[in-house]
Structures are given as structure tokens and as C-alpha cells.
Amino acid sequence: MNSIHQFKVEGIDGTEINFQEFSGRKILVVNVASECGYTPQYAQLQELYESFQDKLVIVGFPANNFGAQEPGTNSEIQTFCNKNYGVTFPLASKIDIETHPIYRWLTDKNKNGSIDSNVEWNFNKYLLDESGQLVKYMPSSVSPIDETILDWVNS
């Protein structure tokens, strides 16, 4: 139960995102929103994904939990991300951070075996290793292309 690889979630386009398929690659999970001050991080996330997609998968989870900054439908969110940021990394269907099983796992050390954390705003980042183990949590203010994240990807 200490691997994110146990999860399958609905993708924003209705297809399934099976985390088991990402075995052998690092994973960055991030909760995203279209109307947030951190929304420009989509560009940095896409840059990171394009640079390292052979060894890194980014999965964005749209959520309207913070400041009602993701009011759109899945279709509207997908259109916004494609039009404004050229997003090609996987996006999940819009979720509720408080109740979604993957975030309950990510935030609870008793479930993930590694870290307790609280998602306090949009664009929080969870870094998982090639075996799906949670290794680090980064707050919204940390850029997706921060040296700490780049060093982790390259390690």
C-alpha cells in the first residue's frame, strides 16, 4: 500500500490514468487551477515534462478547493491548458482534494509510509520515485523548475 502505483484515476478526457504504467519513472503529482496566481507554473510543468519525459511523468489534478480558482468543467480546463500552455502531460478529471483517495494517500504518512502533509493551496507538488514511493513534498511557491526538483529528476 506504500506505492502510488496502486491507483487508477479518471483522466480529464475520460480515459483511465493507471499509475502502474509509470513504474520505472519518477512521478510529480500537482494539484492545479486555472485562475490562480500560480497558474503560470503550467508553463514550467510543461517545460519540465518535455525535457524529462523519458524518466518523469507529471500528473495534474485540477481542483476547486482553494479560492474557487478552478470553476471550469473538465472540457473547459483541458481547452484552457492546451490553448494557453500547450499541456501534454496527463491531467486527471477534476477532483476534490479533501476526499480523493490519491490525495488522502499522499497526505497521510500512515498510508504513504513517508510524509504527513497538508495541501493548503493550488500547485502543491508531490515527488515520487521510480517505485512509486513518496519522497518529497514541495509547497506552491516552489517552481517546477527549481534546482531542488531538477536535481531530484536527474538523480
> What is the per-residue pLDDT across 35-67, written as a single tens digit (0 to 9) for each?
999 999 999 999 999 999 999 999 999 999 999
Is 36 one of the catalytic residues?
Answer: yes
User: How many domains does the structure of the chain reveal?
Assistant: 1
> What is the per-residue pLDDT across 120-132, written as a single tens digit (0 to 9) for each?
999 999 999 999 9
pTM, 2 dp: 0.97
**What string of DSSP letters covers the chain?**
---GGG-EEEBTTS-EEEGGGGTTSEEEEEEE-TTSTTTTHHHHHHHHHHHHTTTEEEEEEEB--STT---S-HHHHHHHHHHHH---S-BBPPB-TTT-HHHHHHH-HHHHSS------SSS-EEEE-TTS-EEEEE-TTS-TT-HHHHHHHH-
Provide the CATH number for the domain around residue 54.
Answer: 3.40.30.10
For residue 131, the enclosing domain spans 4-154
**Marked catalytic residue, from 27, 36, 119, 127:** 36
What's the whole-number mean pLDDT along residues 1-27?
95
